[in-house]
Structure 1
Amino acid sequence: MTEPQSSKPPRQSRTGVTSTGARKASAKSNRSRAREFALQALYQHLVGRNDATAIDHFTRDLAGFHKADAAHYDALLHGSIEHAGDLDALILPLLDRKMEEISPIEHAAMWIGVYEFQNCLDVPWRVVINECVELTKEFGGTDGHKYVNAVLNGLAPKLRATEVEADRAKGKAK
């Protein structure tokens, strides 16, 4: 007796992605790695209220940190913590709930996104959003990435007006 054949086509292999959809470590850029470490560090800050210097020392000792863009990590971690009030002031009007009800992963990803919008002008706005959405997919709850996407898409026209408008004119953005 033979096994019944599946009616589904064989799964397409995607380079740079594991079977669960997460990005493979080898496919990540140094900046993507920096964002991952910054997200983890910001999570520690948001949940444990740990000191930025202590978090920084701990994070730099983690496996794989040597493959991250350390300067970008520094900027994201220290810049987000230093400007947390300003970042939250931009994020809060776009939320449909209190900041305390936002998952720390989503909160950290939004901090990274807003910080990069304001301070990393060499990173295109759509890349900022995509990276933050991917971080939230990888580390956050089931639909957290949709929330991060909505908030950052709402802030992009305000924080990167010229760039967003240029993309709209080319038909690349809504």
Structure 2
Amino acid sequence: MRTLPSARKKARRLLVQALYQWQLAGGGPVAIEAQFRADNDMTKVDGDYFRDLLHGILDAADTLDAAYSPYLDRRIEELDPVSRALLRMGTYELLHRIDVPYRVAINEAVNLAKAYGPEEAHRYVNGVLDKVAAANRPLEIATAR
């Protein structure tokens, strides 16, 4: 069964909220997922995608941070929590979800940065993820041009 793009968009929105919560309060992926499923209407959300990204990102947070940190102009600890969550999400999709086109992964993170991040966060997220994509999906980028 094909998933609607809007269902994944909603999954990403909830994911960023879950990552934000995790960064501030901690907790394991199972507990965070259970809380978000209990607190949110998941009927129009791609729940499998939410679960895959949440568990994958929390399990690989240090690896994801290492993948995007060379492209930062500051230390990771100095990033605001929303931008950090978005960079982790975008980097995870670029590295582990090859079924998601690189442009979609970047654009979804940028759009969420516009909605939830501090001023100009969308430009920062775009610049960093563009470099992550160039380093990890060069063939896809070359083919798209």
TM-score range, shorter chain: over 0.9
1:131 aligns with 2:108: yes
Alignment of 1:7-86 (within 5 A): 29-86=6-63
Instruction: Find the counterpart in structure 1 of residue 78 from structure 2.
Output: 101
Q: Which residue of 2 aligns with 1:114?
A: 91
Aligned to 1:162: 139
Higher relative contact order (CA 8 A, sep 6+): 2
Q: Could you say which residue in structure 2 is the equivalent of 1:87?
A: 64
Q: How many angstroms apart in 2 are the aligned matches of 1:63 and 1:38?
A: 12
The AA in structure 2 aligned to 1:72 is: Y
Give the aligned CA root-mean-square deviation in angstroms.
Answer: 1.2
> Which of these two proteins has the greater Rg computed from alpha carbons?
1
The alignment of Structure 1 onto Structure 2 pairs a total of residues equal to: 141
8 Å contact from structure 1 (residues 92, 99) kept in 2: yes
- Runs of 4+ in structure 1 over 3 Å off: none
- Is there any run of 5+ residues in structure 1 with no aligned partner, and where? 1-27, 169-174
Q: TM-score, normalised by structure 2?
A: 0.92
* Partner of residue 140, structure 1: 117
Task: For 1:58, give the aligned amino acid.
Answer: Q
Aligned equivalents of 2:117, 2:25: Cα separation in 1:
17
Q: Is the 8 A contact 1:37 1:65 kept in 2?
A: no
Bigger helix fraction? 2
What secondary structure does 2:40 align onto?
coil
* TM-score of the pair, normalised by structure 1: 0.78
| Displacement after TM superposition at 1:64 (Å) | 2.8
| Structure 2: runs of 5+ lacking an equivalent | none
Q: Is the 8 A contact 1:157 1:165 kept in 2?
A: no
Give the percent of matched residue pairs that are identical in Structure 1 and Structure 2.
Answer: 39
